[in-house]
Structure 1
Amino acid sequence: MTNSINHFRLEGRRAVVTGAASGIGKAIAATLAEAGARVVVLDLNAEKAAEAAREMGADAVGIGCDVSDEKSVATVFATIAESGACEILVNSAGIAHVGTVESTSVEDFDRLFKVNVRGTYLCMQAAVVQMKRKQKGVIVNLASIAATSGLPDRFAYSMTKGAVLSMTLSVARDYLESKIRCNCISPARVHTPFVDGFIAKNYPGQEAEMFETLSRSQPIGRMGTPQDVALLALYLCSDAASFVTGVDYPLDGGFFNLR
């Protein structure tokens, strides 16, 4: 009888994870490495990327990459191809912003678009070229519940995550014949340093109270963790999800259906 857990193994597969020196991206990269993947940690900070890769074992490498810059992405993926094509891509690099349409400056709008949308596009474009040659591949993008829900004060962020969701569906449809699967994960609030910084900046002296309030906004009663996201990413990257493509997975603690 086949051992079902083997479907989650990724031995020898080259997995590229963006924004992987910290937070959700790092948790995903580490989890894929534990499953046997040869992980490439991409991050704007090359030193932190290399440090994170060292923590993930001898098969992991860390490379500095500005995902919003076409030349930077092209150079990095050409380097990756020299030692084996990218078989798994997880687009986790992203930045957040708090604001309405009135309070969002043009500079902030463009900054979020460059990283969250353009960065996802450039990395998918580079990876798909390599995946087509092998006639197989998996892409997982990090979207957000903000893509499909009207969250307050998240105008520009919601715009970018809506674009990520749409690009995911488009790539999934366009590359069916190349056997490239493409899905996205839409988390609710995940406990990261951004959340702690937001609370400290906007609610000084009320940190514990606000943390509890934000935790309760998910019906399950807590925020998500980077590891929650990483385990779903592992499933989507593995053969266990071989029948899954063009899907937006809410990882929301009941946010949509149980409020």
Structure 2
Amino acid sequence: MSTTAVITGAGRGIGLAVAHRLADAGHRVIVTDIDGDAAERAAAEIGRGAVGFAHDVRDIAAHRKIAEEATARGELRVWVNNAGVLYAGDAWTHSDEEIATILEVNVRGVMAGSAAAVAAMGAGGGVILNISSISALTPVPGLALYAATKAAVLSYTTSLQGDLAHAGRPIRARALCPDVVGTRMVTSHATDPGAAMLFSGPKPLDEDNVARAAMALIESRQIFRVLPRWRGILVRGIDVAPSIGLPALKVMRMLGDRRQARA
């Protein structure tokens, strides 16, 4: 029997890159995106039986419907919660709508997708991969809402793995925490003063490199992975002593400001 893989928010960017690699691995891919046309275009690009569906990850019941679509086509083995949004600016300046949306997409979407995947995966088990961020591990001035939601994703994933192990379910929960990736979600903030931290570090990661890391983590015993690893070590040092690290982050934010001004 064929196997299936679901990737949310896969109309473009990291999700689409991961979807290609899952198809290469032999899975029939279910591409979802809030933009149904983008999902269908992505599925056509992937080929090999891939299908695309409009899917708003804020709708909890919609995840179960996608799981039904996946299991109708084969054994669901991989579910990637990739859909996400990013808002930049000082933490107290966000609108009610922005606060609600980022929580509903980045946190509720991951939790609902994971629950649907666990319910749909059979005796053969599978993998749930949640796309978190390096921002889950450190203060990120200007991106407080985003960092908080990604920290929630990481915490949820590690706890989910504990629940699965306790219940004896043959399902692995994994979280990938990449540094800044050169996707449209990032480049669209190139002139946004609140997003200076996105442009303060090394050159953004390439989507395909992130997709390769995602595939490696799916097969790994490791529960979460930071990409690149050296950046993970650096930001954890800041997180251990925020009173020392925050002044350093202020300098990095100023560097990001200058890079934005030159862009």
TM-score (normalizing by structure 2) = 0.81
Q: Deviations over 1:194-242 (max 9, x none)?
A: 2222114559xxxxxx99x92x613xxx21111111001111223xx2x
Aligned to 2:137: 148
* Alignment match of 1:235 (pick from 193, 216, 219): 216
The 3-state SS of whatever aligns with 2:233 is: coil
Aligned to 2:163: 174
2:232 is equivalent to residue 217 of structure 1: no
Q: Distance in 2 between matches of 1:195 and 1:83?
A: 34
Map 1:92-171 to 2 at 5 A: 92-131=82-121, 133-171=122-160
Q: Distance in 2 between matches of 1:151 and 1:255?
A: 14
Q: Distance in 2 between matches of 1:19 and 1:79?
A: 16
Once the two structures are TM-superposed, the CA of residue 57 in structure 1 deviates from its matched residue by 1.5
Q: Distance in 2 between matches of 1:12 and 1:80?
A: 11
AA at the equivalent of 1:74: R
Aligned to 1:191: 182
AA at the equivalent of 2:177: S
Structure 1 unaligned runs (5+)? Answer: 1-10, 204-209
Deviating more after overlay: 55-64 vs 19-28: 55-64
The 3-state SS of whatever aligns with 1:184 is: strand
Structure 2 unaligned runs (5+)? Answer: 236-263
Q: May I ask how many residue pairs the two structures share in their alignment?
A: 232
Once the two structures are TM-superposed, the CA of residue 73 in structure 1 deviates from its matched residue by 1.9
**Preserved CA contact (<8 Å) 1:141 1:184:** yes
Q: Deviations over 1:107-135 (max 9, x none)?
A: 2111100000010111111110112x324
Aligned to 1:251: 227
Once the two structures are TM-superposed, the CA of residue 248 in structure 1 deviates from its matched residue by 2.0
Aligned to 1:78: 68
Deviating more after overlay: 103-112 vs 184-193: 103-112
Map 1:58-73 to 2 at 5 A: 58-73=48-63
**Preserved CA contact (<8 Å) 2:4 2:71:** no
Aligned to 1:36: 26
Once the two structures are TM-superposed, the CA of residue 258 in structure 1 deviates from its matched residue by 5.2
Aligned-pair identity in percent equals 33
Moved over 6 A (4+): none
Deviating more after overlay: 17-26 vs 133-142: 133-142
**Preserved CA contact (<8 Å) 1:224 1:253:** no
Q: Distance in 1 between matches of 2:28 and 2:11?
A: 16
* Alignment match of 2:4 (pick from 3, 9, 14): 14
**Preserved CA contact (<8 Å) 2:88 2:192:** no
Deviating more after overlay: 228-237 vs 87-96: 228-237
Aligned to 1:25: 15
Aligned to 1:206: none
AA at the equivalent of 2:29: V
Once the two structures are TM-superposed, the CA of residue 254 in structure 1 deviates from its matched residue by 2.8
Q: Distance in 1 between matches of 2:169 and 2:193?
A: 48
